[in-house]
Amino acid sequence: MKSTHKLSMVATVGVIAATTLSVNPASAFSITTGGQAKGSPAGIEGLTTTVSNAVVIDFNDAVDSPYSTVSTVSQQGATYLPGNSLVINNGGVLAPTTGAAPYPGLPSGSTENTSAYLSLPTNSDTGLGSNQVTITLPKLSNYFGLHWGSMDDVSAGTPANQIEFFRNGQLLATFTPDDLTALGLDVEAGAGPNNQDRVRSNPYVNFSSDGSDEWFDEVVLTQLGNNPGIAFESDNHAYRPVPEPLTILGSGLALGFGAIFKKQQSRRR
């Protein structure tokens, strides 16, 4: 995701990879790669989720200028802070100061993603934007997906893209592209312009919590470090709220187990 390219995030139509892996018992998330081309012609808006009942934030209503702020787009019930995080909308035009993002490589050729996307910060030394955005979801959710553009890892000392999941302010899990590679997913992270037009470097990534303990209400995206040539670009964010009865049931079970535990403790005394 470098500043000298157009929107560049690569992926294939349909499922790219269906490898599902749990991180560990303490942070049980299943991670897959795969999405579907969005827009017409297919891919002109990057990749989006294939998960049913997911709410998609595509940034497409950003004002028609090289860049605007995330506060100006429809956040579909979520809240993005700080509101001055930059949404890039360059219509696919080469714009060196605005970063590079989602570019789907299709079986029949390639199509530039000319839609708007989020960039942390701007891949420039202008000082605009923020290197971190906190996405507060309206309800507990068990799924989050994003078209992750030219993933940057920590190779050769390069700062990495990072995604974190929280619940009530408590950190549940943290992932960088290196972690996805270590888990065996078919992704390729790196640094520099060489990863901007490769399918494996620009996947749609799906994070699903394996149990109610990992339901989350906040997602934090961060571009680590202060390298002006590196940014965290993404598009077509998607989240899936937990159905209300399940939320109530989960809370009820937790309270019930807590009461039983306290009763057992008092008996032992």
Predicted pLDDT at 256: 60
Residues 6+ apart with CB under 8 A from 171: 164, 165
Predicted pLDDT at 199: 78
Single-letter amino acid, residue 260: I
Confidence of residue 108 (pLDDT cuts 50, 70, 90): very low
- Say if residue 102 is exposed, middle or buried (CB neighbours under 10 Å; 0-12, 13-18, 19+): buried
3-state secondary structure 81-121: ECCCCEEECCCCCCCCCCCCCCCCEECCEECCCCCCEEEEC
Q: Where are the alpha helices (DSSP H) in 175-269?
A: 177-182, 244-268
Distance (Å, whole) CA 125 – CA 193:
17
Predicted pLDDT at 41: 80
Confidence of residue 94 (pLDDT cuts 50, 70, 90): very low
pLDDT tens-place string over residues 149-195: 888 888 756 778 999 999 999 999 999 999 999 899 988 887 655 66
Predicted pLDDT at 107: 43
pLDDT tens-place string over residues 60-90: 998 877 788 999 999 999 999 999 998 887 6
Predicted pLDDT at 248: 57
Give which of 79, 117, 77 is closest to 101, Cα–Cα: 117
Confidence of residue 259 (pLDDT cuts 50, 70, 90): low
Q: What is the pTM of this model?
A: 0.81
Question: Which stretch of 20-34, 74-88, 101-115, 169-183 has the lowest confidence by average pLDDT?
Answer: 101-115
pLDDT tens-place string over residues 197-250: 777 888 999 999 999 999 999 999 999 987 777 889 999 999 999 998 756 555
Q: Is the pLDDT of residue 121 over 50?
A: yes
